[in-house]
A = this chain, B = another copy of it.
Amino acid sequence: MDFAFDARTEELRAKLLAFMDEHVYPAEAIAHEQRQLLASPWDQPVIVEELKAEARKQGLWNLFFVDQHSLPDAGHGAGLTNLQYAPLAEITGRSPQLAPTALNCAAPDTGNMEVLAQFGTDEQKKQWLEPLLAGEIRSAFAMTEPEVASSDATNIQTRIDRDGDDYVINGRKWYISGAMNPDCKIFIVMGKTDPDGEDIRRQQSMILVPRDTPGLEVRRAMQVYGYEDHSHGGHAEIVFSDVRVPASNLIGEEGGGFAIAQARLGPGRIHHCMRLIGMAERAIELMCRRAVSREAFGKAIAQQGVVQNWIADARVTVEQLRLLVLKTAWLMDTAGNRGAHTEIQAIKIATPRAVVDILDKAVQVHGAGGVSQDFPLAELWAGARTLRLADGPDEVHQRSLARRELKKYL
Which A positions have Cβ atoms within 8 angstroms of B?
Answer: 1-6, 9, 83, 144, 146, 148-152, 155, 174-175, 222-228, 284-285, 288-289, 291-292, 294-297, 301-302, 304-309, 311-313, 315-317, 319-321, 323-324, 326-327, 330-331, 334, 342-343, 346, 349-350, 363-364, 367-374, 378-379, 381-382, 385-386, 388-390, 393-399, 401-403, 405-406, 408-410
Which residues of the other chain, B, contact A285 by a CB distance below 8 angstroms? 409
Give the complex CA separation of A284 and B364 in angstroms.
Answer: 26
Cβ-defined contact, A399 with B326, below 8 A? no
Closest Cβ neighbor of A395 among chain B residues = B306
Q: A1-B2, A226-B227, A330-B1 are in contact. Are A155 and B296 (CB under 8 A)?
A: yes
Q: Which chain B residues border A374 with CB–CB below 8 Å?
A: 146
Residue in contact with A175 in the complex, picked from B306, B368, B408, CB distance below 8 Å: B368
Contact partner, A320, options B227, B350, B368, Cβ 8 Å: B350
Are A373 and B222 in touch, CB under 8 angstroms? yes
A232 to B313 Cα, complex, angstroms:
31
Q: Which residues of B contact A401 (CB under 8 A)?
A: 311-312, 315-316
Identify 16 residue pairs between A and B in the complex whose beta-carbon atoms are under 8 Å apart, listed by A's number.
Answer: A1-B3, A1-B83, A2-B2, A2-B330, A150-B367, A155-B296, A225-B225, A292-B410, A308-B398, A308-B399, A309-B398, A309-B399, A317-B350, A319-B327, A320-B323, A371-B386
Cβ contacts under 8 Å, A350 to chain B: 316-317, 320
Instruction: List the 6 shortest-distance A-B pairs measured between CB atoms, nearest first.
Output: A226-B226, A305-B305, A308-B402, A226-B227, A323-B323, A320-B320
Query: Is there an interface contact between B4 and A399, defined as CB atoms closer than 8 Å?
Result: no
Say whether B406 contacts A326, CB under 8 Å.
no
A393 and B371 within 8 A (CB): no
Contacts of A9 in B (CB 8 A): 1
Tell me whether B315 and A343 are in contact (CB under 8 A).
no
